[in-house]
Amino acid sequence: MLDIICVRLILLIALCLGLPSLSLAQPGDDTFLAARDAYNARDLRKLDTLAVKLTDHPLAVYVAYWQFSSRIGSVSPTDVRAFLTRYADTPLAERLRVEWLKELGRQKSWETLNDEYPKLVNADTEVTCYALQGKLALNGTDISKEGHAIWFSAKTSPDSCAPVFDQMMTSGTLSAEDVWRRIRLALNANNVTLAKQLNEHVLALGKINEKALDTANTAPQHYLERNSTQLGNRASREIVIFALIRLARSQSAIAADYLKDIAPHLPAKDAAYAWGQIAYYGALSHNPNVLAWYDKASQATLSDNQIAWRIRSALRMQNWPEVLSSIDQLSSNEQRESNWRYWKARALKATGKAEEATDILLPLSRETHFYGLLAGEELGPTLSNPTVIWKPGDQDIANIRQVPGIRRALFLKELQMTVEALREWSMVTRGLDDRQLLSAAEVASKAGWIDRAIFTADRTKELHDYSLRFPTPFRDALKANAIKYQLDEAWVYGLIRQESRFITEAQSPVGARGLMQVMPATARWIAKKLGIKNLRDTQISDVNTNIALGTFYMRNVLDSLGHPVLATAGYNAGPGRARRWRGLTALEGAIYTESIPLTETRDYVKKVMTNATLYALQLGLTPHPLKERLGVIGGQTTTTVEDSNLEPATGS
């Protein structure tokens, strides 16, 4: 077995930086992949033997990392620091740093941990708790501020945090009220397991009855029917409030009726907290009474998310003064989000403050996203590709190809180490300027890495290349099917861009496949409609088959729902949900979209419709402003074609 001196040798020889031009295929690629397999199998003897043959391979840094990672418990600080310094520009440096810091914590090597922890780039709770343990061990530093920041979480804490919390409880810096606050956080996130763990820190006479807690969790209305008057102590009140919140998730109006009777018997702050939660879930289900419920929560401290849904409810009711006042209650960071800037401008305009609205819309209109386009249209410019178009020259492309992280990413992609390739690409493009980003996007495009070309071109601020942001591969098949099913080609392209970024073999965690991310069950249903016999799951990712299936489904959803915005929502989340999200009366398309309760689908619809607007320009089709595309969504009394067989194409 090689000792650590050999690993140092790799560090000195491995040249991932500044290499002469290399083809993607390397003589040592098979050996490199064998080394990876040896690492995964924890066959360190074989890994060390192969490592000697790979010192000149462009990805030798990965071999060095595998050797270090496999021996993290015995490697010397000098060797780790040498790796971290030499390969600071790779994602492997941060990965190894995290592994090393955790090992230092396990070994209680507090001085080294104390020195190295400040260099950690990305927060890691387990490491942070080890660092706090180190502070306590070295000098007894007051860690209550950092400890509280970790304590107030609805997630279960790593084991390394237990000694920190124990010390805080012993010293009195973690109070009984802090315990109850976290129990409430856990219950609100439905983390009943954590709530039970925290229950051990509650005084014996005030502990939560865990059997009652389970009943409140699984049968909240049943629990309330029998226990709504059990409010004599903190534990029983918390269970009742939890049952109300659990019930509100599916039946907010019934939960509100219970709370009307219970509220007079609760402390005012507890009642306000419960009203805030019920109002939030009522807003998600578009209950028309939510603004009144929010008013009852005036003594509660609402989260940005709760306030956001108050705003969305007010939008659906066209209550512009409420929109304006609620936006002002958001945190300063949240108020800077593009959607709230746009809706604040709209609210100002609706309440007669046009100049103030323009002051917000002008800078927002220079941003190339859903609300940037809507802001520009609100101001009335001619629809066109905004800002300056710039294309890299041969030298720009040659220069970016020599950037080490770009080279490593391309090598990794060629070896089908996709996760590692994506990490390299993301890290290396993080600090590039517009010209470098567009050059990198061009390199990715030429390598057939369309999703990275889009990802990279999307990040420019002032210089843009819309051919890279909105590529048009597979156009023959796509255009033919768009014509066949009388679909807007720009809309189809916009949907595919969002679904798969043109990765033909894309597969979602729930099994949706191909360019248009069609679920196997949906594909089989479509195949029967199209007369395709014996469709195999492996065929779904085939480009021509996938486009045929996806466009047929788009046509059916559009026919069923009658509007592209509804159809887009239905493609992602199912037609039934898209119907239920309509208002009691007609809604502006942008308001319907903003108030979609599923975050994934809300963002999806915004991006697909934005894509479609810009693809029309890219394809030379008749341009339609985004607001025109969004149109007006008819109320729930509007007749649509019901089709119970239409499930979400993408399995959301």
Element (H, E) at 65: helix 60-70
Interatomic CA distance for residues 26 and 157, integer angstroms: 45
Interatomic CA distance for residues 128 and 147, integer angstroms: 9
Interatomic CA distance for residues 401 and 413, integer angstroms: 14
Residue pair 94/122 in contact (Cβ under 8 Å)? The answer is yes
Look at residue 24 in the predicted model and tell me its pLDDT.
Answer: 60
Coil, strand or helix: which one is 415? coil
pLDDT tens figures, 219-275: 999 999 999 888 989 999 999 999 999 999 999 999 999 999 999 999 999 999 999
**Which long-range contacts does 375-384 make (Cβ < 8 Å, 24+ apart)?**
375/342, 375/345, 377/625, 377/626, 377/627, 378/345, 378/346, 378/349, 383/613, 383/617, 383/623, 383/625, 384/617
Interatomic CA distance for residues 306 and 280, integer angstroms: 5
Label the pairing between strands 632-633 and 388-389.
Answer: unpaired
Interatomic CA distance for residues 340 and 393, integer angstroms: 39
Which DSSP state fits 621?
P
Residue pair 647/512 in contact (Cβ under 8 Å)? The answer is no
Interatomic CA distance for residues 132 and 260, integer angstroms: 45
Average pLDDT per run of 10 along the chain, which is 652 residues long? 42 38 66 97 97 95 97 96 96 98 98 96 96 93 92 97 95 93 96 95 84 97 92 94 97 98 96 98 98 96 98 98 98 98 98 97 93 94 63 96 96 96 97 96 97 97 93 97 98 98 94 96 94 91 96 97 98 96 97 98 98 96 95 80 57 56
- Find, among 36, 22, 17, the residue nearest to 415 by Cα: 36
Interatomic CA distance for residues 507 and 500, integer angstroms: 9
Which DSSP state fits 266?
S
Interatomic CA distance for residues 410 and 140, integer angstroms: 49
**Per DSSP, which regions of 414-552 are E strands?**
463-464
- Find, among 401, 421, 425, 403, the residue nearest to 413 by Cα: 421
Coil, strand or helix: which one is 3? coil
Coil, strand or helix: which one is 633? strand
- Find, among 491, 492, 452, 454, the residue nearest to 471 by Cα: 454
Residue 518: beta bridge partners?
513
The dihedral through the CA atoms of 431, 436, 439, 441 has a sign that is positive
Interatomic CA distance for residues 274 and 245, integer angstroms: 7
φ and ψ of 488, to 5 deg: -70, 115
Interatomic CA distance for residues 341 and 357, integer angstroms: 9
Interatomic CA distance for residues 139 and 332, integer angstroms: 37
- Find, among 541, 545, 588, 597, the residue nearest to 569 by Cα: 597
Interatomic CA distance for residues 373 and 350, integer angstroms: 19
Interatomic CA distance for residues 157 and 174, integer angstroms: 15
**What does the block give as tokens for 321?**
């003064």
CA distances from 370 to 38, 409, 446, 497 (A): 47, 31, 28, 15
Element (H, E) at 399: helix 394-401
φ and ψ of 120, to 5 deg: -65, 130
Look at residue 232 in the predicted model and tell me its pLDDT.
Answer: 86
Q: What is the pTM of this model?
A: 0.91
SS3 content of the chain, % helix, strand, coil (to 5): 65, 0, 30
Q: How many C-beta atoms surround the C-beta of residue 199 within 10 A?
A: 18
Coil, strand or helix: which one is 463? strand
φ and ψ of 389, to 5 deg: -90, 130
Which DSSP state fits 156?
P
**What does the block give as tokens for 296?**
């009852």
Interatomic CA distance for residues 52 and 31, integer angstroms: 10
Label the pairing between strands 587-588 and 632-633.
Answer: antiparallel
Which residue reads 């609805």 in tokens? 154
Which DSSP state fits 1?
-
Q: How many residues does the chain have?
A: 652
